[in-house]
Amino acid sequence: MHLKICCLSRVLRRVSRIAMLQRASAVSAVLSMASPTFARDEAGGFSQWIAKFFFGNDVPSDVDAIRVIFSRPLPSWGWFLVVVAAFLVGLWSYRRIATGTTKSSRLFRGCLTIVRATTLVVVALLIAGPMVRFERTRVERDRLVVLVDRSLSMSIKDGPNGESRDDQAAETLEAMRPMLQSVAKSKDIDFVGFAGGAFSLLPNRAAEDTSARASDAATTQVSEFLPALGAATGDRTDLDGALRQALARASGRPLSAVVLLSDGRSAVPISAGVLRGFERDSIPVHTVALGSSKRLGDAAIVSASVPARAFVRDRVPVEVRIDRGGVDRDLSVRIVDETSGVEITRRPVPTSESGEEVSVVLDAVSESAGDRSWRAEIVSDEQDLVRENDARVFAVEFVDRPLRVLYVEGSSRWEYRYFKNLLMREKDLESSIMLLSADRDFAQEGNLPIARLPRTREEFSKYDLFIIGDVPSGFFSPDQLTIMRSEVADRGAGLLWIGGERNTPMSWESTALADLFPFKPPFSLEPRAGVSLIEPTPAAARLGVLRLNDDEDGWPDVLNDTSLRWPQLRYVQDIPRARWKPTAEVLALAEGVGAGAREASPAVMRMRFGAGDVVYVATDEIWRWRYGQGERYPERFWVPLVRLLSREAIARGDARAELVVAPNRVVPGASTVVSLRIVDDESAERAPSVVPVEIRDLSGAAVARVELTRDGADASAMFSPERTGRFVAVADDPAFGRLEATFEVVRADDELRRGDTDHAALSDLSQRTGGQVLNLESLRGLAELLPLRARETDESVERTIWDTWIALTTLLVLLAIEWCGRRLLRLV
């Protein structure tokens, strides 16, 4: 027995030394919490080897240092208490165990006490969540963005020596070469062109990981790849979008500054949000102004709009929007037939003190049917700066068939008597007129007299326009009202309401046609007090209606003469402004006469409803104007309204389907929508699920093919033309026949609408963002103005220790040693 105890004592001495070493390691780990740098070790080969020994291959190789941390750390005094408590627990555990009084027995008990204390400390360490932190830092270089304007306005030659703005930009970049070579040693440089959007001027530069490049390599790249600008072909300038995209292209990387080379012109002004973004991030925008600061002036036609189809001998309104572009001289706009070169009509262009676009409406007439190609052009005594934007070509198809009108009136009021005579007398107009108050033996009037109202959809579809006077809604059946609503919404038929004292609009409030009024319920409208005079609005001039005179104004002064009684209307319904629908527009206002007159209210209102137009006339006293110049004024009031409302019906005509290309004037590369709508149920059933459409040029040669995918009665597809010129989209199928739609692809000239620069905008941009306006001399010192915003990113990796094999092994070894000792003492 004595021999066994002696042998065990020797073993326990060695175990005691191991336990002391482990305890020292634990204390070292404890002290690392009080002094975080204590356990830090520069990541050398030995540290890497130790880390891989514990964690295998899941260890980063590019680390700067390795340190031990805890997820639930304790202060140093806390760990001291843990160690003391563990030692006291060990002493208490073995204080009464009788192992003899010899020196070896006391040592044996002391060793077991140390082993248990060490086990408790290790458990406390594992509970604290020990981890190894592999520290590494990535340095991200900041970026300098050079924005270069690549829009068409850069081709204008207004430089100091007559050079173009594009030549100025190339000269400026060449002058920046030495400065950029210096900046590239510490920053990444992006050359970005912009027009309608931003794009890289260096191929694949956006995809490069430039953060790892050496400074000499960066200098070489800047030297070799100063951008080859090429031709400036952008059709518009969006400086706001370019600055926004320049920020986005950085992809979250630090941006030092932006250098902007531009003439300052932008179709979209720089938004407050973009400016706030630069101000918030303290990113200066340094600008280089190109071009002349003097105002050059250039007039341009912005747009020319005209109905696609019209009736022969119809006065077609052609609205031409013109930007005078700072030109103060007299200008005129005219319509010319492209085929014959004959001038159709001409009107002067009004001045614009505010510099805004002005609208000129010209009335053009064709005496024969067929397609007409007309050109709107600016006429001036002096040559304009940019001739390309002084003309617009458009097409109109004229139909030689009479307008078909259904007029239903409740009683033989004065307006009815004169209005129905106008309809019957008007050339190219066929009317069916029904007077409800007439006797049974009364012969209904009109070119196409009827004995009863239409009842079926086929009977209603014969008419281009429905005119409803002061008629009670109960005279129509619900089916008839539903069909009329569908004819307006789907087929594009027109609807003209003539208000009255008895039934219109008050009796129509709960009917299927209630939505076809340009105002909201309630429909009980009170008459205006006193007498009123009518004054047309600019909306009427744009539509080519209510032009009672041939002069520029179009409205005779005599109708505004308060000293005359015959222009004054005794009955006009008062439509409160609160009831106007948002989509309605006022074509004429009724204004009171005399002191105390009420606020003006609409006399004529217009509203789109589906494919058709609706007009509401709030008076039935236009007949009084006959006392002025006979039928002249009433005829010019009513007939253009009738023709306006009938045009939408012939836009589709009797075709079983409609093919549309919208927009019908695009630039190369832009997207347009080719859409097909089948309006005949039988054709819809027979038509294929995919409808092919050929795109042909004027010679008839096919240049592209588009397949329209059907969704019910509609089919559409996107098409992006690449060539300029006029084209025809052709869809030919037995189900609906041959359909055509013309469109034009032109070089966009929006950028040339105004040639003058906007250097003030560049100066304001630099001032708001803390940048400077630079020239060729001050560009040399640009490097000193660029802040250094390179940032360090902590990419450290942490690995836990408590769940590794070494932690489990350590705990099991300590427990095994204590168990073996207790076994030898026969305690277990």
Q: What is the average pLDDT score of the chain?
A: 81
Q: Which residue has the higher pLDDT, 614 or 22?
A: 614
DSSP 8-state class, residue 571: -
Identify the weakest region by mean pLDDT among 126-130, 331-335, 453-457, 770-774: 126-130
> CA torsion 33→37→39→41, rounded to 10°?
160
Considering only CA atoms, give the Rg of the chain: 44
Checking DSSP bridges between strand 255-262 and strand 285-289, what pairing results, if any? parallel
Is the peptide bond preceding residue 522 cis, with omega within 30 degrees of 0? yes
Q: Which residue has the higher pLDDT, 363 or 49?
A: 363
Q: Which residue has the higher pLDDT, 422 or 750?
A: 422
The whole-angstrom separation of Cα 786 and Cα 242 is: 20
Structure tokens at 204: 């694949």
Question: Which residues of 571-724 form beta strands (DSSP E)?
Answer: 585-592, 601-609, 612-617, 657-662, 665-666, 672-678, 690-697, 702-711, 714-719
pLDDT(224) > 70:
no
Amino acid at the residue 148? V
**Do 365 and 314 contact (CB within 8 A), yes or no?**
yes
Give pLDDT, residue 219.
Answer: 36
Q: Is 323 helix (H, G, I), strand (E, B) or coil?
A: strand
Buried b (16+ CB within 10 A) or exposed e, 378-411: beeeeebbbeebbebbbbbbbbeebbbbbbbbbb
User: For residue 488, is it left (φ>0), alpha (ψ between -120 and 50) or beta?
Assistant: alpha
Alpha helix stretches (DSSP H) within 128-206: 165-175, 177-183
Proportion of the chain above pLDDT 70, given as a percent: 83
Q: Which of 62-76, 439-453, 516-530 has the highest mean pLDDT?
A: 516-530
Structure tokens at 135: 């520290």
The residue-averaged pLDDT of 799-825 equals 81
- pLDDT, tens digit (0-9, with 9 covering 90-100), for 417-471: 999 999 998 888 899 999 988 766 666 788 888 888 999 999 999 999 999 999 9
Q: How far is CA 156 from the centre of its chain?
A: 30
Give pLDDT, residue 750.
Answer: 58
Identify the weakest region by mean pLDDT among 124-138, 456-470, 683-697, 760-774: 124-138
pLDDT(808) > 50:
yes
Give pLDDT, residue 671.
Answer: 86
The whole-angstrom separation of Cα 505 and Cα 742 is: 41
The residue-averaged pLDDT of 395-419 equals 91
pLDDT(216) > 60:
no
> CA torsion 408→409→410→415, rounded to 10°?
170
Give pLDDT, residue 778.
Answer: 86
pLDDT band at residue 8, thresholds of 50, 70 and 90?
A: very low
pLDDT band at residue 217, thresholds of 50, 70 and 90?
A: very low
Proportion of the chain above pLDDT 90, given as a percent: 27
Contacts (Cβ under 8 Å, ≥6 apart) of 143: 187, 188, 189, 190, 250, 253, 254, 255, 256
Structure tokens at 69: 């941390």
**Mutual orientation of helices 805-824 and 2-34 as an angle, nearest 10°?**
150
Q: Which residue has the higher pLDDT, 615 or 180?
A: 615
Give pLDDT, residue 44.
Answer: 52
CA atoms in the 13 A half-sphere facing the CB of 7: 5
**Do 409 and 434 contact (CB within 8 A), yes or no?**
yes
Question: Which residues of 610-671 form beta strands (DSSP E)?
Answer: 612-617, 657-662, 665-666
Give pLDDT, residue 466.
Answer: 96
- pLDDT, tens digit (0-9, with 9 covering 90-100), for 321-335: 888 877 878 899 999
User: For residue 61, is it left (φ>0), alpha (ψ between -120 and 50) or beta?
Assistant: alpha
Give pLDDT, residue 603.
Answer: 95
Residue that has been written with the tokens 């053009």 in this structure: 364
The whole-angstrom separation of Cα 490 and Cα 511 is: 18
pLDDT band at residue 385, thresholds of 50, 70 and 90?
A: low
pLDDT band at residue 122, thresholds of 50, 70 and 90?
A: confident
Angle at 303 (CA atoms; ends 302, 304), nearest 5 degrees? 145
Find, among 154, 136, 158, the residue nearest to 48 by Cα: 136
Give pLDDT, residue 407.
Answer: 95
Give pLDDT, residue 213.
Answer: 43
pLDDT(506) > 90:
yes
- pLDDT, tens digit (0-9, with 9 covering 90-100), for 289-327: 998 877 667 788 877 888 878 888 888 888 898 888 778
- pLDDT, tens digit (0-9, with 9 covering 90-100), for 565-619: 999 999 999 999 999 998 899 999 999 887 667 789 999 999 988 878 999 999 9
Give pLDDT, residue 552.
Answer: 67
Identify the weakest region by mean pLDDT among 450-464, 538-552, 794-808: 794-808
**Around Cβ 235, how many Cβ atoms within 10 Å?**
20
The whole-angstrom separation of Cα 1 and Cα 649 is: 122
pLDDT(31) > 80:
no
Q: Is 181 helix (H, G, I), strand (E, B) or coil?
A: helix
